[in-house]
Amino acid sequence: MRIATWNVNSITSRLQRLLAWLESTGTDVLCLQELKCAAEAFPTEPLRELGYEAAVNAGGRWNGVAILSRVGLEDPVVGLPGGPEYEGVTEPRAVGATCGGVRLWSVYVPNGREVDHPHFAYKLRWFAALRELVVRESGERPFAVLGDYNVAPTDEDVFDPAAFEGATHVTPAERRALAELRDAGLADVVPRPLKYDRPYTYWDYRQLAFPKNRGMRIDLVYGNPAFEATVRDAYVDREERKGKGASDHAPVVVDLDLRHGTA
């Protein structure tokens, strides 16, 4: 089974690329982030024509997540259970479903904005709620949390650590939140190095960041031991970051062999 995660930075703007990518890659399950559309505007029909069901958590102009599956979609949960509000609003940042016997969550972790901003404290609270979800749901079956974590796990996951000094995405507090997810029983299942050096997943649109490979690895796949045991390959699809109309994130793809492992 091939699963992937992709921050599409507007599913409306990226729809034709998304449909073409699904067809060309044979992806069975895709976790999406940053839909930037209302629930009623989600492109259910074009995806259904390709054989995909969808679990969607969308609320309008910002945020929004989904899981697309052509191998079944059971027990959907919309929203992060126990997740915090920001300025009185529960933002659409998480959705879960069981697809082909694998329990998956698509997450779009808050950005944090600046270290002394209220959004940063909200980000850490959001991570704490995510950890509680992992503790409750992980269990013995294959389980993974995929998405845009808005944290680079190590200094090797940014093009220049000095460029991020004092900024979010690299702080000890954020990296500690990732460590707490690992302590709860998850592991980063996308190995380093991959088939090239510095397998970033995000490059800013500005200042020729992609051609210069001035990127970050912030789109992650964290799985429990039962999930990790089934992983047979993983890669970042850099080609999908190229060309006119690309998202500023590249898809991260993981191939599973569910006939083996502990599941």
Q: Round to whole Å and give the CA distance between 153 and 151.
A: 6
Among 52, 108, 122, 149, the one annotated catalytic:
108
Among 28, 219, 222, 249, the one annotated catalytic:
249
Residue 85 tokens read as: 């509000």
**Kind and range of the H or E element at 78?**
strand 74-78
Among 28, 148, 157, 219, the one annotated catalytic:
148
Task: Say whether 119 is catalytic.
Answer: no
Taking each helix axis from N to C terminus, what angle separates 118-137 and 172-183, rounded to the nearest 10 degrees? 10
Binding residues for Mg(2+): 7, 34, 148, 150, 248-249
Region of 137 (left: φ > 0; alpha: ψ -120 to 50; beta: rest) is: alpha
On whether the CB atoms of residues 180 and 262 are closer than 8 A, the answer is no
Residue 60 DSSP SS3: coil
Binding residues: 7, 34, 148, 150, 248-249
Task: Say whether 148 is catalytic.
Answer: yes
**Kind and range of the H or E element at 231?**
strand 231-236
Task: Say whether 249 is catalytic.
Answer: yes
CB neighbours (10 Å) of residue 232?
A: 12
**Beta strand 74-78 pairing with 102-108:** unpaired
On whether the CB atoms of residues 7 and 33 are closer than 8 A, the answer is yes
Active-site annotation, residues = 108, 148, 249
